[in-house]
Amino acid sequence: MGLDPRTKLLGVVMLLVTTFLVEQVRCLLGLSVLFVLVAFATKTSALTYLRHLLLLSWLMIVTFCIHVWARDAGHGADTFLADGVRRGFIAVGQLSVAVGWISILHRISSPLELMGGLERILHPLQRIGVSVHNLSILGMLSMRFLPIVFEEGQYLLHAYTARGIEWNRGTLGRQFKNVLLLCVPLLSMLLRRVEHITCAMENRGFCVGAARSSFQEFRLRTVDYIVLGGNLGLLIGCYAINRM
């Protein structure tokens, strides 16, 4: 039986906080070993993890350079560079492990499942007037639209390429016109999709502000409390080590 979506979300949040909290190499290595074990247990693809790292490689390079050249007033001119290199490697390691936790969350949970868990976590905010149900519906529709936008954009791009339009050539004004040729029909397609979804929701009796039931039942079990307690203990332990 899988974990509750609330456990997955809160557990990953605590692991991310723990990862960015550590400042010692041994603690970071311990978290790296833990990540490898969890990734193996959840059958997270190494190629997916490496692809996510590649997408954020520019951020890691910038982070490393900032830590290398950021002078610390407490160090002399002879030692600040070596200390900066050490802090840069630690920062890059933190980002790498953090990307790993997010990759695991993406592997073990669907977007709709995570939105349902987030809605349950934010449910107490309804007492102060926050419409959590409407926010969850908005989030679910947004996640549904992201792959639609990408798919429709690819179709239009291939269609224009087949008609001889070269996107990466020509003057800057010409390239801007090519982008407009892609954006205008894409926006038109998205507006038609929105109209279809609106009609479908109205036909199914959707009403803003009305109480909704959930097809998926959320229930915290013993394993959920064990996982949350373990993550909380790891967070407190790493914080205590850093304070020493």
Q: Can you give the pLDDT of all 244 residues of the chain as single tens digits? A: 478 888 999 999 999 999 998 888 888 999 999 999 999 998 888 898 998 888 888 888 888 888 877 755 445 555 556 777 888 889 999 999 999 999 999 888 887 788 888 888 888 887 887 777 777 777 777 777 777 777 877 888 788 777 777 666 667 777 777 777 778 888 888 888 888 888 887 787 777 666 666 666 778 889 999 999 999 999 998 888 877 7
Judgement on whether residues 137 and 98 belong to the same structural domain of the protein: no
Cα-to-chain-centroid distance, residue 22: 21
Q: How far apart are CA 109 and CA 118, in angstroms?
A: 12
216 contacts: CB under 8 Å, gap ≥ 6: 113, 116
Judgement on whether residues 158 and 227 belong to the same structural domain of the protein: no
Q: How far apart are CA 195 and CA 199, in angstroms?
A: 6
- Residue 178 is predicted with a pLDDT of 73
Q: How far apart are CA 137 and CA 201, in angstroms?
A: 11
Judgement on whether residues 175 and 155 belong to the same structural domain of the protein: yes
Has residue 127 been placed in a domain? no
- Which token pair is 202? 């109205």
pTM: 0.74
Judgement on whether residues 96 and 144 belong to the same structural domain of the protein: no
Q: Are 123 and 14 in contact (CB under 8 A)?
A: no
Q: Are 25 and 242 in contact (CB under 8 A)?
A: no
For residue 55, count other CB atoms closer than 10 A to its CB: 10
**Helix H segments across the chain?**
5-21, 25-41, 46-55, 57-69, 80-108, 111-121, 132-162, 172-203, 222-243
Judgement on whether residues 68 and 182 belong to the same structural domain of the protein: no
Distance between start and end Cα atoms, the chain = 39
Q: How far apart are CA 204 and CA 83, in angstroms?
A: 62
- Which token pair is 73? 């007033």
- Residue 71 is predicted with a pLDDT of 54
Has residue 152 been placed in a domain? yes
Judgement on whether residues 109 and 16 belong to the same structural domain of the protein: yes
- Residue 110 is predicted with a pLDDT of 81
Q: How far apart are CA 119 and CA 243, in angstroms?
A: 35
- Which token pair is 98? 């953090």
User: How many domains are there within the chain?
Assistant: 2
93 contacts: CB under 8 Å, gap ≥ 6: 28, 32
Judgement on whether residues 166 and 75 belong to the same structural domain of the protein: no
Backbone angles phi, psi at 4, to 5 degrees: -70, 145
- Residue 73 is predicted with a pLDDT of 46
Q: How far apart are CA 8 and CA 115, in angstroms?
A: 12
Q: Are 242 and 24 in contact (CB under 8 A)?
A: yes
Range of the domain at 156: 132-203
Nearest residue to 137 (alpha-carbon basis) of 193, 191, 197, 187: 197
Judgement on whether residues 154 and 187 belong to the same structural domain of the protein: yes
- Residue 38 is predicted with a pLDDT of 92
- Residue 58 is predicted with a pLDDT of 87
Q: How far apart are CA 140 and CA 173, in angstroms?
A: 37
Judgement on whether residues 114 and 48 belong to the same structural domain of the protein: yes
